[in-house]
Structure 1
């Protein structure tokens, strides 16, 4: 997964509840159509600041537990809930490493 995919998917989630270290997202039904959606649960891999994820498909909800010492809670909420796409791209650069994803879209295979 790369940050471009997260930027695309952020428009398909709503922050329902957030306290530092724990975030609950409501998932738009269209999210399942995104090719990278199945990888959301893998964000806790690769030494990221994501500690765990719990998906509840019936409630269309995703709970993300994260290390607030590694991921700035305000930046995370602004990235996911902010309407400003340009600001989200700036935040994406700083969040990519702590999400355990690549910053840019990988080059196309030849």
Structure 2
């Protein structure tokens, strides 16, 4: 099971390629495989089932990118940018825990 701290850790390996409200596309640093611990691709792809507001996650392993479709009324676009920049983490943690569909 993926936890809030894991989401923040994973996001530190992202850099934004394109971002419009409701859709975020990020490049993934290959070093993520060394630091991800026991987090699997399935854990990441399953996040829409665990957190309200995340609608879909698509992982493209060939070009090392992740596309996240989300509800911008629930997750403000700036919060995603903060997550990737590792800013306002406390606010993000509170929001993620509030929106969790199960204890994470």
Structure 1 residues 23 and 43: CA distance shift in structure 2, 3 A: same
Unaligned ranges ≥5, structure 2: none
Higher helix share goes to which structure?
1
Aligned CA RMSD, in angstroms, stands at 2.0
TM-score (norm 1): 0.77
Deviation digits for residues 40-65 of structure 1, max 9, x if unmatched? 11111035211111111010000000
Structure 1 residues 99 and 22: CA distance shift in structure 2, 3 A: farther
Deviation digits for residues 11-57 of structure 1, max 9, x if unmatched? 11111111000000111112223122421111110352111111110
For these two proteins, the number of residue pairs brought into alignment is 100
1:1-110 superposed matches below 5 A: 1-33=2-34, 34=36, 35-38=38-41, 39-46=43-50, 48-82=52-86, 84=87, 87-98=88-99, 100=101, 102=103
Equivalent pair of 2:60/2:66 in contact (CA under 8 Å)? yes
Secondary structure of the 2:58 match is strand
Structure 1 residues 70 and 6: CA distance shift in structure 2, 3 A: same
Q: Which has the larger radius of gyration?
A: 1
After TM superposition, give the deviation of residue 71 of structure 1 in Å. Answer: 1.1
Distance 2:33 2:10 in 1: 10
Unaligned ranges ≥5, structure 1: 104-110
